C-alpha cells in the first residue's frame, strides 16, 4: 500500500502511515470507528433524556450551567466550542451518571490470548471467554453505595468540578489497553446536542413509564421537547429504548 502523507495529524492518516497497515485493515479500522461510535452515543442520549425527563431539578441545573456559560462568554446562539464544552461540568456529570445506570455496552465479553491469573487468584486459560456486566456493576451497593439506584449527577462533582472514577469501577468505556478510543469524541458529540436542546426546549414525558418492563421494551417512551420560546410550538420526539429518535 502506498504510504500516504505523514505530515497530517488526524487519526486515520496516522494509522494509514504505519507500515503494518494494509488497505484492508485500514478499511476495518474506519468501519470500527463508524460502528463503535454510532449506536453507543445514540443509546446513551436516549436513556439520558429519559432520565432527565423524570428529574426537573437536573434539567434546571443543566440549563443554569448553560446560561451562566452564555453570560460569561457573552454569546447567545452559536454552537459551543471545545473550551465551553469542557466547562460544562454538570452536563458532563449528568451524562456520565446516566451511562452508569444505562451503559450503552451493557455486557462485554473478551477472549483470553494467553494463560493468565487475575489479581484475586482466578486462573484464566488461553481461549477462555471472560465477561463483565457493566449494567450490573453500575447498580451494586458495594461499588456505588446505598444510593446506587438513584440518578444522582452530583456524585461525580467535587466543588462543582467533574471528578472521574477509575475505569475499573466504571467500565462503561472498558478499561486497560483495549479501552474505548472514542471516549472523548463521544462526549464532544453528546454534550453539544444536549446543550443545544436544553437551551431551547423543555423536556416533558408524554407516556409515563408504568414500571412494566415488557411495555418499555415494546413501545417507545414518548418525550416532548417543548420550545422555551413559543409555548404552543411543540416538537415531539419519540425516544425508543433501542436508541432511535423519531421526529414527528
Ligand atoms: C457513549 C459512547 C461510547 C461508549 C459507551 C463506548 C464504549 C466502548 C466499549 C465498552 C469498548 C470496548 C469494546 C470491546 O471490548 O471490544 C469500546 C471500544 C471502542 N470504541 Fe467506543 N464507545 C463509545 C463511543 C465511541 C466513539 C464515538 C468512537 C469513535 C468515533 C468509539 C471508538 C471505539 C473503538 C475504535 C473501540 C475499539 C478499541 C480497541 O479495541 O482497541 N467509541 N467502546
pLDDT in tens, 102-145: 999 999 999 999 999 998 999 999 999 999 999 999 999 999 99
Pocket test for ligand 1, best of 14, 38, 40 (most atoms within 8 A of CB): 40
Distance 178 CA to ligand 1 centre (A): 9
Cell matching residue 71: 453570560
Average pLDDT, integer, range 20-37 = 82
Q: 45 burial class (0-12, 13-18, 19+ CB within 10 angstroms)?
A: buried
Neighbouring residues of 126: CB distance < 8 A, sequence distance ≥ 6: 112, 113, 114, 115
Q: What domains appear along the chain, each with residue ranges and CATH number? A: 38-247 (1.10.630.10)
Q: What percent of the chain has pLDDT over 90?
A: 56
Half-sphere exposure of 176 (CA within 13 A, CB side): 3
Alpha carbon nearest to ligand 1 atom 26, residue: 37
Question: pLDDT band at residue 147, thresholds of 50, 70 and 90?
Answer: very high
Element (DSSP H or E) covering residue 1: none
- Which of ligand 1's atoms lies nearest the C-alpha of 190? 1
pLDDT band at 242 (very low <50, low <70, confident <90, very high): very low
Average pLDDT value over all residues in the chain: 84
Helix (H) or strand (E) run with residue 111 in it: strand 107-111
Residue 112 in marked binding region: no
Amino acid at each position: 500500500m502506498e504510504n500516504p502523507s505523514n505530515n497530517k495529524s488526524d487519526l486515520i492518516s496516522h494509522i494509514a502511515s504505519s507500515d503494518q497497515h494494509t488497505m484492508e485493515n485500514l478499511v476495518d479500522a474506519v468501519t470500527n470507528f463508524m460502528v463503535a461510535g454510532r449506536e453507543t452515543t445514540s443509546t446513551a442520549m436516549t436513556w439520558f433524556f429519559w432520565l432527565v425527563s423524570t428529574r426537573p431539578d437536573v434539567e434546571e441545573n443543566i440549563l443554569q450551567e448553560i446560561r451562566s456559560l452564555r453570560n460569561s462568554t457573552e454569546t447567545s446562539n452559536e454552537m459551543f466550542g471545545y473550551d465551553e464544552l469542557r466547562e460544562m461540568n454538570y452536563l458532563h456529570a449528568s451524562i456520565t451518571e446516566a451511562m452508569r445506570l444505562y451503559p450503552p455496552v451493557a455486557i462485554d465479553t473478551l477472549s483470553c490470548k494467553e494463560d493468565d491469573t487475575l489479581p484475586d487468584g482466578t486462573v484464566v486459560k488461553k481461549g477462555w471467554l471472560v465477561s463483565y456486566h457493566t449494567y450490573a456493576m453500575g447498580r451494586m451497593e458495594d461499588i456505588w453505595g446505598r444510593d446506587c439506584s438513584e440518578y444522582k449527577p452530583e456524585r461525580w462533582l467535587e466543588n462543582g468540578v467533574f471528578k472521574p472514577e477509575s475505569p475499573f469501577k466504571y467500565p462503561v468505556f472498558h478499561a486497560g489497553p483495549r479501552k474505548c478510543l472514542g471516549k472523548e469524541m463521544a462526549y464532544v458529540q453528546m454534550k453539544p446536542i444536549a446543550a443545544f436542546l436544553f437551551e431551547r426546549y423543555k423536556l416533558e414525558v408524554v407516556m409515563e413509564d408504568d414500571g412494566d418492563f415488557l411495555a418499555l421494551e415494546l413501545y417507545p417512551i414518548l418525550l416532548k421537547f417543548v420550545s422555551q420560546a413559543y409555548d404552543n410550538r411543540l416538537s415531539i420526539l419519540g425516544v425508543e429504548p433501542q436508541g432511535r429518535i423519531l421526529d414527528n
